[in-house]
Each structure stands twice: as C-alpha cells, then as structure tokens.
C-alpha cells in the first residue's frame, strides 16, 4: 500500500483583478497549481496551503471571518472560512450540511484546528518535546507554531534542534511496493524514524520558482532547467527543490535528486543541513 499522501491545490490570482467574482465553479480560473507530499493528510494539506501562498502559514483560522454563504458557495478562500468556523466550534455535521465536503476531510481539518487551539493554550516557555513533535507531524511550520505560542520562527527552530526534532527524507515508491522501484522523488516528513537514502555531500542545490502566477510563469522555470542542464554538462550532481508539478524542472530525469518541497527558509535550511551541498543556486 502507499505510505504517502499527495495533495494538489490550484492557485487563484483573483486579487489582481477589479470586479472579478471570487466564486469558483466548473469554469477554470486558476493560473497554476502546487503539489505537496506528506505521510498523512494533515501534513500534506498544510504544506500545500503554504506553497500556494507564501503569506499563509497553514490552515489559519484568523485569515477570514465565518460566513455561511461562503461555506455554501465555494470561493478561492473557502478553506480559511472553514478554519474560522471550526475554531468557533461548528460541528463536522453542521459543516457537512453547509459545504457538502466529505466528513473525512472535515474531520482532518478539525484535527488541525483542535491542535492549533492546544498550541495557543501553551506559552513558549512550557512547550514540551511531545507537543512540538506532534505539531510537526501534523504539518505545522515553525512560523505557524511561533504565532500560536507567541514566539519567533528562529526561537522555535532553535528549540526544535535542541529537542532533536528534525525531518527525515523519504523516497516515493511509484509502484506501491509491487516490485522494487528506485526513484529520485523525495520529500521531508516528521512521521518517520529514518532516512531512505545516504547523503554524500557532493551535490549542488538549485531552488525552483514555485507556483505559476500572473507575472511569473514557465520562463522562470526555464532558468532553473538551463541551470540544471549546464551543471549536468559539467558532471556535477544536482538537487532540485520545487513544488510545481506542471514544470519541466520537476521531471524525473532533470536532476539527480528532486525534492517536492516548500521553498521557505525553514525547509530549504532543513534540506541544506541534511544534504550539506557544495553550493546553492537561486533561479
């Protein structure tokens, strides 16, 4: 069976237009998409939300106010209205009646918001190893935890390193263990106890340009691909970090190692500390 969960979310750039309807339906309005991989739904979903919009920390219950009309008719920000409703103790059943989103997903969203409330009840001085580890396993970023416990991202990172809570690198098995398969698709997770591969410290790390948006599209990915090809010509081993499944840079044969991961300070530093590459190139 598959031991990983993949979440894809479209990117809507509706804020850049005047008088545009934020309602989403059967006609396509998205300009790009992201893909996140985790060991459970909560982890993958929160990763994906951060990938779609770098100003979002995860499933944030404070971004939008509760609005039942918005719960009934989908908009590009409905998941944050849903988060606000869960924080105000709407039941899964009530939300199912309003949204018709499957109860399984609503239950997972509730898990995230319930744990967010738990974090808010703790101050930065009394957070334990178990609380921090559980938060990381549910896809909470250092910044997200810092906001909840009224601390800073760097302080949470330092605490995490003191507690030895660091992510593990896992490899995607594309054939569900039907036969041995070696791929270069990698992701980070806290729901593990060992790495799936070794780290020879001889790679060069290239950071991709992330999700397509208005004003930033395939031309930026061309820069990353050109960089990877040039490094290959020079017999250099490459690591690609990107999370856009539409790009050429995320093709299986473009790099020696492909991390389908967030391009954020936290995650890039985690990969850097694990891989210890010879250099990092920004595209």
Within the chain, what is the greatest distance between any pair of CA atoms? 59
166 — phi, psi (to 5°)? -130, 155
Output the pLDDT for position 19: 87
Q: Decide if 171 is inside a domain.
A: no
Output the pLDDT for position 104: 98
222 and 157 together in one domain: no
Which positions ≥6 away from 121 have C-beta within 8 Å? none
31 and 138 together in one domain: yes
Q: Decide if 142 is inside a domain.
A: yes
Helix boundaries (H) for 121-141: 129-137
**Number of structural domains in the chain:** 2
Closest CA to 259 of 270, 273, 243: 243
Which of the listed residues 162, 177, 209 is the one where a domain comes to its end?
A: 162
Domain around 250: 191-282
Burial class (CB in 10 A: 0-12, 13-18, 19+), 121: exposed
pLDDT for 190-219, tens place per residue? 999 999 999 999 999 999 999 988 878 888
Q: Decide if 260 is inside a domain.
A: yes
CATH number at residue 227: 3.40.50.20
Residues of the chain with pLDDT under 70: 1, 174, 176-177, 180-181
96 and 25 together in one domain: yes
Rounded Cα distance, 238 and 258, in Å: 9
Beginning with the edge strand found earlier in the chain, give each strand of the sheet holding 168-171 in spatial order.
168-171, 185-189, 257-260, 237-242, 203-207, 279-282
Is the Cβ–Cβ distance between 7 and 41 less than 8 Å?
A: yes
Burial class (CB in 10 A: 0-12, 13-18, 19+), 133: middle
Q: Decide if 178 is inside a domain.
A: no
Cα distances (Å, whole numbers) of residue 112 to 106, 135, 157, 225: 10, 9, 20, 36
Output the pLDDT for position 1: 54
CATH number at residue 55: 1.10.1030.10
Rounded Cα distance, 253 and 257, in Å: 9
DSSP character string of 24-79: --SS----EEEEEEESSHHHHHHHHHHHH-TT--SS-TTSS---HHHHHS-BTTHH
Rounded Cα distance, 99 and 262, in Å: 29
Which helix (H) or strand (E) segment holds residue 211: the answer is none
Rounded Cα distance, 86 and 90, in Å: 5
36 and 126 together in one domain: yes
């Amino acid at each position: 069976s598959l031991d990983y969960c993949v979440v894809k979310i479209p990117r809507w750039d509706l804020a850049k237009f005047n008088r545009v309807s934020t309602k989403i339906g059967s006609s396509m309005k998205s300009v790009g998409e992201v893909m996140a991989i985790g060991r459970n739904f909560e982890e993958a979903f929160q990763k994906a939300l951060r990938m779609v919009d770098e100003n979002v920390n995860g499933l944030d219950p404070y971004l939008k106010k509760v609005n039942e009309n918005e719960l009934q008719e989908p908009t590009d920000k409905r998941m944050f209205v849903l988060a606000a409703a869960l924080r105000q103790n709407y039941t899964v059943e009530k939300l199912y009646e309003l949204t018709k989103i499957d109860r399984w997903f609503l239950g997972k969203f509730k898990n995230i918001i319930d744990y967010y409330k738990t974090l808010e009840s703790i101050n930065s001085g009394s957070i334990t190893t178990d609380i921090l580890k559980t938060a990381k396993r549910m896809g909470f970023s250092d910044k997200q935890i810092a906001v909840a416990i009224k601390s800073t991202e760097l302080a949470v990172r330092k605490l995490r390193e003191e507690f030895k809570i660091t992510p593990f690198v896992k490899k995607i098995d594309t054939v569900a263990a039907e036969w041995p398969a070696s791929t270069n698709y990698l992701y980070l997770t806290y729901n593990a106890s060992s790495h799936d591969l070794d780290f020879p410290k001889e790679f060069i790390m290239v950071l991709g340009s992330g999700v397509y948006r208005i004003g930033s599209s395939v031309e930026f990915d061309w820069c990353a691909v050109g960089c990877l090809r040039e490094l290959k010509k020079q017999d250099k081993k490459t690591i690609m970090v990107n999370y856009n499944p539409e790009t050429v840079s995320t093709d299986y044969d473009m790099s020696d190692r492909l991390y389908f991961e967030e391009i954020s300070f936290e995650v890039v530093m985690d990969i850097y500390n694990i891989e210890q590459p010879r250099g990092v190139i920004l595209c």
